[in-house]
Structure 1
Amino acid sequence: MRYVMMICGPESNWEGPEADVVMETINSWWEKWSAAGVIVDGGAELQPVATAKTVSRGADGKAVVTDGPYIEIKDVVGGFMLLEADSIDDAIACAATWPGIEALGDQVEVRPTIER
C-alpha cells in the first residue's frame, strides 16, 4: 500500500545553518529508505508559503486566485514523499526515523493514499 509522508513544522525550522547541517543526515536517510524500496516515486521539498497561490471558487462560481496559503498557520507542509509499505505501522517505522524530528522539531504526518 502507498502512504504519503508529509514533513510539517514552522518554516523557520528549514532555514539557516542548523537546517543546512541536518540536510546531510536527511540525504543519508533518503538513500537508506530509497534503497530499501520504501520511498517510491520520490518526493519534493516545497518552496516557502509566501510563494503559494490558492485557487478557490468565487461568489460568481469562477476561479479566484489569491496570494499565499489558504489559511495562515504556524506549521506548514514543507515537503512530502510517497512511501510503499505493507502496513501503516511499517510506514510509521520509516517516518519515525526522519532526522528532522529530533534535530529540528519537525512533525511527520503519514496518511494512506486512496487507490482507485
Structure 2
Amino acid sequence: MAKYMILIYGDAEQWDSMTGEQWEAHNAGHAAFAAKAGTRVLDGRQLEPVPTATSLRADARGQVHTTDGPFLETKEGLGGYYLVEAADLDEVLELARLLPELNHTHSGLEIRPVVEHG
C-alpha cells in the first residue's frame, strides 16, 4: 500500500462567507469521505487560516528570512489535508471525489504520493 497526501485548497473569503447550513452540508461531506475511506485515512486536519502561516526562505547567502503568511500571494490557500493509504492513485481519486471542496468553484484538491525512505 502506498501513502498519498490529499491537499485541500480554497479561497478563505469564500469559506468565511458560508452560512451555518452550508457548513453543515460541507461537514457532512467530510464525514461521508471519512466513513467511506475508513482506516485508509491515517491523518487529516483542518489548518488555521492562511494569514496565520509563517514562511521561511533562504537567500543566496544562506541567510534565513521569516515572513508572515504563505510563500505565494494567491486567493487559494492550503486549508487542510488528509493522509491516506491506498493501493494506487485510482483508489485515492475515487475517495477524493467524495470531498465537498469539489462542489465549489473556489476550491480544489491536490493529490501527491508520499515518498517512503528506507
Q: Do they superpose with TM above 0.5?
A: yes
Measure how far apart 1:13 and its partner are: 3.3
- List structure 1 segments (4+ residues) > 3 angstroms apart after TM superposition: none
Please name the residue that 1:39 is paired with.
41
- TM-score, normalisation: structure 1: 0.84
* Contact persistence 1:53–1:66 (CA under 8 A): yes
Give CA-to-partner distance per residue, 1:7-61, whole Å, 9 cap, x none.
11211232231542234313422440353x2211x11111111111111114542
Give the alignment's Cα RMSD to 1 decimal: 1.9
One-letter amino acid matched to 1:25: A
Identity in percent = 27
One-letter amino acid matched to 2:87: D
**Larger displacement relative to structure 2 (7-16 or 17-26):** 17-26
Please name the residue that 2:28 is paired with.
25
| Distance in 1 (alpha carbons) for counterparts of 2:62 and 2:22 | 42
Please name the residue that 1:95 is paired with.
96
- TM-score, normalisation: structure 2: 0.83
5+ residue gaps, structure 2, are none
Q: What SS is found at the alignment partner of 1:108?
A: strand
